[in-house]
Structure 1
Amino acid sequence: MARFENRMRPIHPGEILREEYLVPLGMSANALALALRVTPARINEIVREQRGVTPDTALRLARYFGGDARSWMNMQVTYDLKVAQRDLGERIAAEVVPREGAGQEIPEN
């Protein structure tokens, strides 16, 4: 059965945005939405971990805070894969027979 060796819970990019950017700056999600020129609902849903970071949002966050959009997208993809592995990994391992000579594990990254 394919599992992540790291048993840490998946970390949503919204948690990073909230705890590493908004809280230290004393900035609200609504203020960030205004600065990014997106709807407050978009940022609120991200920081409440109810919505993922899209390429558009990643570009805006990178432009506003500095850094690069790829980092925001990598956080989202890593989160999505960990959630999928947790929720679907065992079922996929049971359903899909590996091609002969292929590895037995679903890659972590």
Structure 2
Amino acid sequence: MLFISASKSGECCMKVRPYIDFETTANTPGTRLYDSIVRQNGISITFAAARLRVSQPHLSLLIKNERGITEEMSNRIAEVFGGDPNEWHIIQLEYNIEMARRGETKKRRPRLKAFPASHKRKGLGFQ
């Protein structure tokens, strides 16, 4: 995705950033975490991290989407700030699936060849 912005000196510059979108960047797990915990409660990342009993750098990595929200973190968020831990887990899972579909994960995925339909076994629940 191409972003055009002006620098402090007024010069125009163009930057290419990875296309995250996920409908909008506001829907990434980290942005949702920041909006619903830090911004909504008017607290700092450091304060939120202390309440969750994680380090400030750890929470910052979650907010920047450089780390994922684990099941344990989902439970902590729900216990400290309320809500359903399953919701955070599902948000992260959907994000992971979308990033994998787009090929934007850190792991290299081998090219897969579909198994011919005539050879697929029936009864596995994947018809």
Q: What's the TM-score, normalizing by structure 1?
A: 0.72
The answer to whether 1:70 aligns with 2:75 is no
Matches within 5 A, 1:17-56: 17-56=33-72
User: Quick one: higher RCO (CA 8 Å, sep 6+), 1 or 2?
Assistant: 1
Tell me the residue number matched to 2:23. Answer: 8
Higher-Rg structure is 2
Q: Are the aligned partners of 2:37 and 2:48 in contact in 1 as well (CA < 8 Å)?
A: no
- Tell me the secondary structure at the aligned position of residue 97 of structure 1: coil
Unaligned runs of 5+ in 1: 1-6, 103-109
Instruction: Report how many residues are paired.
Output: 92
Q: How many percent identity over aligned positions?
A: 25
More strand by share: 2
| Alignment partners' CA distance in 2, 1:97 and 1:21 | 43
1:21–1:98 distance in 2 versus 1, CA, 3 Å: same
- Tell me the secondary structure at the aligned position of residue 27 of structure 1: coil
Q: What's the TM-score, normalizing by structure 2?
A: 0.63
Cα RMSD after superposing both structures: 2.3
Q: Which runs of 4+ in 1 moved over 3 A?
A: none
